[in-house]
Amino acid sequence: MKYTKEQYEEFDVSENDDIDIRCRTTKLVKTKKPHKCCMDRDAHIIPVGTMAVRDSAIVDGKWSTVYSCTDCIDKWYDECRLYEPQRASSESENS
């Protein structure tokens, strides 16, 4: 986990505006059962006891819950550069 609980819970996987999503809530949880990771194209299994974001919402009128593991969210945030990496900036100011 590279980011804060709040940053993980802000995570929004829904890119499609055509889907009707309501009552959406996200929560960072430790998994108690194995779940498929919705961030992964191959839907790898998130093992029990892993930190993951549980994402519940009414999608097109039906309740749906998906899980995204923090590893995949880390990668996604890295690619999007949504958040600045936290590192000392002493060198960059002089150059």
What residues line the site for Zn ion (CB under 5 A)?
37, 39-40, 69, 72
By beta-carbon proximity to Zn ion, the closer residue of 66 and 72 is: 72
Residue 76: beta bridge partners?
A: none
25/47 with CB nearer Zn ion: 47
Q: Phi/psi at 10 (nearest 5 deg)?
A: -80, -15
Closer to Zn ion by CB, 9 or 40: give it. Answer: 40
CB of 51 to Zn ion, least distance (A): 11
Minimum separation from the CB atom of position 61 to Zn ion (A): 27
CB 70 within 8 A of CB 8: yes
Give the nearer residue to Zn ion in terms of CB position, either 57 or 66.
Answer: 66
Got the DSSP string for 33-92? S-EEBTTSTT-PEEPTT-EEEEEEEEETTEEEEEEEEHHHHHHHHHHHT-S------TTT
Q: How far is the CB of 72 from Zn ion (least distance, A)?
A: 3
CB of 75 to Zn ion, least distance (A): 8
